[in-house]
């Protein structure tokens, strides 16, 4: 990854212990930014009436473990490809369970009361644009 200006030096810079200024920023901002990033995805899923879960798979550990060897782009891509296969396995295993289990949550009808515009006042172009997500409510 050094070729992409993210070598051991940069990893170490982002690894703890941070310089005081970075540690202060991290402590001040991470608790506020992490929920925003996570919630952004959750809100997008909610608008699409999808249940949402995060599946995170790491590609390497060298930035957090000083004893680990430096990674290369090729090694990251190799792990990334293996992670894609793992993620596909997880989805393949979960889909039949999801299909066989009725949802107990309200995600599937989250937008049911979201459209406040009188239905006869919705322009045909808007109706067509919204049809894929909200056609059953129009
Ligand atoms: Zn749900």
The residue among 29, 51, 35, 66 whose CA lies nearest residue 101 is 51
pTM of the model as a whole: 0.57
Q: What is the per-residue pLDDT for 6?
A: 55
Distance 79 CA to ligand 1 centre (A): 30
**What is the largest distance, in Å, between two alpha-carbon atoms of the chain?**
66
List, in order, residues 6 or more apart from 96 with CB less than 8 Å away.
none
C-alpha 125, offset from chain centre = 31
Q: Count of H helices and E strands in the chain?
A: 4, 0
Distance 39 CA to ligand 1 centre (A): 14
Distance 8 CA to ligand 1 centre (A): 41
Q: What is the per-residue pLDDT for 92?
A: 96
Q: Are 110 and 87 in contact (CB under 8 A)?
A: no
d(CA 11, CA 13): 5
Q: Are 38 and 31 in contact (CB under 8 A)?
A: no
Distance 57 CA to ligand 1 centre (A): 22
Per-residue pLDDT of the chain (138 residues; tens, 9 = 90+): 555 555 555 556 566 677 788 888 888 888 888 888 888 888 899 999 999 888 888 887 666 666 777 778 888 889 899 999 999 999 999 999 988 999 899 999 999 999 999 999 999 999 999 999 999 999
């Amino acid at each position: 990854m050094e070729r992409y200006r993210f070598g051991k030096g940069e990893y170490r810079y982002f690894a703890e212990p941070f310089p005081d200024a970075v540690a202060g920023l991290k402590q001040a901002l991470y608790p506020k930014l992490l929920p925003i990033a996570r919630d952004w995805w959750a809100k997008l899923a909610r608008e699409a009436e999808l249940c949402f879960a995060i599946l995170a798979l790491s590609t390497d550990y060298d930035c957090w473990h000083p004893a680990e060897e430096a990674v290369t782009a090729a090694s990251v891509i190799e792990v990334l490809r293996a992670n894609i296969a793992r993620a596909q396995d997880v989805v393949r295993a979960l889909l039949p369970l999801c299909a066989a289990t009725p949802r107990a949550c309200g995600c599937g009808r989250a937008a049911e009361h979201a459209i406040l515009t009188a239905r006869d006042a919705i322009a045909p172009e808007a109706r067509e644009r919204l049809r894929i997500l909200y056609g059953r409510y129009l």
